[in-house]
Amino acid sequence: MAYLSFARKYRPKDFSSVIGQKHVVKTLKNAIKLGRISHAYIFAGPRGVGKTTIARILTKCLNCKEGITDQPCGVCENCLEIDKGSFPDMYEIDAASNRGIDDIRNIKEGVNYAPIKGRYKTYIIDEAHMLTREAFNALLKTLEEPPPNTVFILATTELHKIPETIKSRCQAFLFKPPTEEEIKEYLKKILENEGIPYEEEALLLIARYSKGGVRDAASLLDQVVTYSDGNVSVKAVEELLGIVSDEYINSFLTLIKEKNIKELIKQFQKLYREGVDLNIFWKQLLDKIHEALVEVSLGKEHPIFTEEDIKDLIYIESIFRKAFQEASSSEEPKNLYELTLLKLNYIKDLKSIEELLKSGVSISKKATTVEKTSTQEEATEPKKKADSIELAIQKVAKDAGKIIAAALKKTKIEDHGNNITIFCDDKLLQILQSKLDVLEKSFGKPVKFEKLQLKETKKKSKKRDETVDKVLDLFQGKIITYKEGGQ
């Protein structure tokens, strides 16, 4: 028999074996029980977290020969064909390669026919955000007059690219990456079923490195099993991923805290000579720094950093992250990373941003305004805006971490259509400002900050402060317009 990857072999066949996505599963099961199936759903979320899987399970629920049920039998002809992907009433369309009006027209014509074998036809449109505007318009007409016995499921990794008009006619579910613990349990089940020995810690490591992607975790497990001749050990995972041990990362963090630049460079060069993948190492470091920042900010104990380090950590995280992003397009990341380590020397020169703000720098809209193109520009109801803000916050949590998202939640956010204004106090401003790029990416529009309590703006000398330049330089000048005398 052909070799089947773990991800495919262990695709859940019913709701009970889906991990995470509790709210999606619960709502769908209830809808099935109550006979309140919507004619169109949006499944939004990152790759490999169960969108297609659940779309198929839903198809089974609607078409199992035993009757409409939230627990399809799994053995009837229809259930089996759906598992194989050969059921004639389930249409799986990849919008990335069928983006155009003709493709949607085909669907539109097809929906008029009754199901061939089952009770319901399902159209699973993957990467739905890739459809062209014309295709969306055609789809919209279909959704406006929903054909009977047809369920549309639009799966997307980029909900914000789906036009509001479409969204408003669908029931949307936000799929979240399952937790590391949940993924670990899933991997464990696979290995136990396969009779392959493993170390529990190794599974946790795999879960951590797949960052919530269940498919990625399963593929990684495939690789480790092959690489390690069938014993999934921490050592095998570390070797395969080219990662260094947690212990080593912690000793590196201690040097960072001590700003022991000399030793840092020495250790770093040693890793380089040993052939460690520097990008992966840097990412490990970054994750640990982020973790420390979150823990310390939440008042938790951390073995290396304390509350006094928060400002340093914010700065370190921001320059380390920047280096990581730049390294992805660089042939030789070593120099870039070394330079970043050297910058740690300048932390002590860094004046508190709060002080700077008091002395007249204010954060304002980015100079360049992004041209908006899509239908998102249409005026939307407050609820929609609230939803899209909520979604943006989730993206932020994913891209910049939970603490930034938490900070964002403490602010007042106004969606003006073309741009976003965030009202917050100085402390939050300081945190959020360091993530301006992520915020703008997540909201998909320029972001500007306003202070929550309007303090009187002091008139200050027109000459730009030297420290301002220094800080701009250190933060690599994402930002900002320099405002004079309270414009």
Ligand X SMILES: Nc1ncnc2c1ncn2[C@@H]1O[C@H](COP(=O)(O)OP(=O)(O)O)[C@@H](O)[C@H]1O
Q: Which does 64 bind (CB under 5 to 8 A by kind): ligand X, Zn ion, Mg ion, none?
A: Zn ion
Q: Which does 47 bind (CB under 5 to 8 A by kind): Mg ion, ligand X, Zn ion, none?
A: ligand X
Residue closer to ligand X (CB basis): 218 or 407: 218
Concatenating the DSSP letter of every residue in 228-271 gives TTS-B-HHHHHHHHT---HHHHHHHHHHHHHT-HHHHHHHHHHH
Out of 54, 79, 125, 218, which residue is the one contacting Zn ion (CB under 5 A)? 79
Residue 122 lies near Mg ion (rule: CB under 5 A): no
37 to 76: interface string for Zn ion, x by CB under 5 A? ---------------------------x-------xx--x
Residues 425 and 431 sit within 8 Å (Cβ to Cβ): no
Q: Where are the alpha helices (DSSP H) in 133-199?
A: 133-144, 164-167, 180-194
Residue nearest to Mg ion according to CB distances in the complex: 52
Residue 419 lies near Mg ion (rule: CB under 5 A): no
- One-letter amino acid at 238 equals E
State in angstroms the smallest separation of the CB of 53 from ligand X: 3
d(C-alpha 388, C-alpha 386), whole Å = 6
State in angstroms the smallest separation of the CB of 162 from ligand X: 16
Q: Which does 230 bind (CB under 5 to 8 A by kind): Zn ion, ligand X, Mg ion, none?
A: none
Q: Which does 212 bind (CB under 5 to 8 A by kind): ligand X, Zn ion, Mg ion, none?
A: none
State in angstroms the smallest separation of the CB of 43 from Mg ion: 8
Report strand pairing: 412-415 vs 420-424: antiparallel
State in angstroms the smallest separation of the CB of 70 from Zn ion: 12
Residue closer to ligand X (CB basis): 7 or 172: 7
Residue closer to Mg ion (CB basis): 52 or 362: 52
Kindly state the number of chain residues that form the binding site for Zn ion, as judged by CB under 5 A. 5
If 0-12 CB within 10 Å is exposed, 13-18 middle and 19+ buried, where does residue 248 land? middle
Concatenating the DSSP letter of every residue in 65-127 gives TT-S-SS--S-SHHHHHHHHT--TTEEEEETTT--SHHHHHHHHHHTTSPPSSSS-EEEEEET
Residue 318 lies near Mg ion (rule: CB under 5 A): no
382 to 411: interface string for Zn ion, x by CB under 5 A? ------------------------------
Residues 129 and 162 sit within 8 Å (Cβ to Cβ): yes
Residues 6+ apart with CB under 8 A from 259: 344, 345, 347, 348
Residue 442 lies near Mg ion (rule: CB under 5 A): no
Place of tokens 């070593």: 334
Q: Which does 7 bind (CB under 5 to 8 A by kind): Zn ion, ligand X, Mg ion, none?
A: ligand X
State in angstroms the smallest separation of the CB of 126 from Mg ion: 5
State in angstroms the smallest separation of the CB of 15 from ligand X: 10
Residue closer to Mg ion (CB basis): 51 or 435: 51
Cβ atoms within 10 Å, residue 484: 16
Picking from 85, 177, 99, 158, the residue whose alpha carbon sits closest to that of residue 392 is: 158
Residue 80 lies near Zn ion (rule: CB under 5 A): no
Q: Which does 169 bind (CB under 5 to 8 A by kind): ligand X, Zn ion, Mg ion, none?
A: none
What is residue 170's three-state secondary structure? coil
Residues 6+ apart with CB under 8 A from 459: 485, 486
Residue 52 lies near Mg ion (rule: CB under 5 A): yes
What is residue 482's three-state secondary structure? coil
Binding site for ligand X (CB under 6 A): 7-8, 10-12, 18-21, 47-53, 155, 178, 186, 214-215, 218
State in angstroms the smallest separation of the CB of 428 from ligand X: 33
φ, ψ of residue 232 to 5 degrees: the values are -85, 90
Residues that bind Zn ion (CB under 5 A): 64, 72-73, 76, 79
Residues that bind Mg ion (CB under 5 A): 51-52
